[in-house]
Amino acid sequence: MGEMIRFGTTDLTVSRLALGTWVTGGWAWGGSDENEAKQAILKSFELGTNFIDTAPVYGFGKAEEIVGRALREWGREQIVVATKCGLQWDPQKRIRRNSSPERIFEEADGSLKRLGIDRIDLYQIHWPDPEVPFEDSLSALLKLQQQGKIRYFGLSNFSRDQIEECLKTTQIHSMQPPYNLFEREAERDILPFCKEHGIATLAYGGLCRGLLTGKFTGKEQFPKGDLRRQDPKFKPDRFKKYVAAANEIKALAASYGRTTAQFALQWAVQQPGVTCVLSGARTVRHAEDNAGASGFEIARKDLQKIEEILARHINEPVGPGFMSPSK
């Protein structure tokens, strides 16, 4: 059983390693894949994860449907379900931000139906919408809470200033920022700010789009449509530096009897201000791998070694110098 924690100021008790389902919707097309994705969710539950995060946009409803099937099989009682709102797509699957109250109400009903549940434990605005005042979106969430359709609500991909703006309207229970060993921007202000204000954090992208699995050589080419084609970290010269750093981290992980991915996820769990860390699982084997990220702790001397590895290979701000005290 993985480590459990109280989720911020809510009464939810959750596993620190939470299951993300972006891959569930993005890959689970066709019967056997959908079944495999459902089995991966069930295996995650079996291995102690009780917290699952999804969104309507993951596979355009597909991920929520698969999560719903897994919940029907496993039982709803022990599982904390988080999903999101605020994105809209057209028949061509072009996505735009829309956090209008009308859209939020519509999405909540759609999610409840696909998930097959009567209440969402944590409902998050997926991306800030510059066209709609935050106060309007948050008023819609408060109304859903009063109606009993959601228990708590949070934000995802908001800046510190945007979170502060939202706090003028109501309490915010959680924030979901990107955060991993190679992408530390959240340390600057998001994590300290959330810690100071009792806002739980759910870090996503813990494996930095595969860089922290230790499986790359630095020579890989990515197909058209792959996110990594646009990511500067995967441009030839920088890619090799990240791979060199990941290989040294792999050796450190091996001294704990863990994979690079397990070590990277546990690193994120141990960082100040992090409540939970998300990782995806497309197969049962992935779910078993993720489970190996709990049950150990990285020693202080090895946390320091990681900073030295990063400083040696990556000429970008990392480590304590990258953090600023919360104001």
The stretch 14-19 carries a mean pLDDT of 97
Burial of 61 (0-12, 13-18, 19+ CB in 10 A): middle
Q: What is the mean pLDDT of residues 240-269?
A: 96
The residues spanned by each domain of the chain are 4-208+261-297
Pick the CATH number of 4-208+261-297 from 3.40.50.150, 3.40.630.10, 3.50.50.60, 3.20.20.100: 3.20.20.100
Task: Assign 226 a pLDDT band (cuts: 50, 70, 90).
Answer: confident
pLDDT digits (tens, 9 = 90+) for 66-122: 999 999 999 999 999 999 999 999 999 899 999 999 999 999 999 999 999 999 999
The full DSSP string for 306-321 is HHHHHHHH--S--SGG
| pLDDT at 110 (0 to 100) | 98
In angstroms, the CA 251 to CA 267 distance is 15
Q: Which long-range contacts (CB under 8 A, 24 or more apart) does 235-242 make?
A: 241/313, 241/314, 241/315, 242/182, 242/208, 242/211, 242/218, 242/313, 242/314
In this prediction, residues 6-11 reach a mean pLDDT of: 97
What Rg, from alpha-carbon coordinates, does the chain have? Answer: 19
Share of the chain above pLDDT 90, in %: 82
pLDDT at residue 24, as a whole number: 85
- Active site (catalytic) residues: 58
Over residues 293-308, mean pLDDT: 96
Q: CA 247 to CA 213: how far, in whole Å?
A: 9
Mean residue pLDDT of the chain comes to 92
The values of phi and psi at residue 66, to 5°, are -70, -40
- CB neighbour list of residue 324: distance below 8 Å, 6 or more residues apart: 188, 189, 192
Per-residue confidence band for 32, with pLDDT thresholds at 50, 70 and 90:
low
Is the pLDDT confidence value at 38 over 50?
Answer: yes
Task: Tell whether the model's pLDDT for residue 322 goes beyond 50.
Answer: no
Quote the pLDDT of residue 236: 85
Res. 222 pLDDT band, cuts 50 70 90: confident
As a whole number of angstroms, the distance between CA 78 and CA 75 comes to 7
- The pLDDT assigned to 316 comes to 57
> What pLDDT score was predicted for residue 23?
84
**Count of all residues that appear for the chain in the document:** 327
Cβ contact 138:146 at 8 Å: no
Weakest-pLDDT range from 218-222, 231-235, 249-253, 312-316 = 312-316
Q: Measure the N-to-C terminal CA separation of the chain; round to a whole number of Å.
A: 37
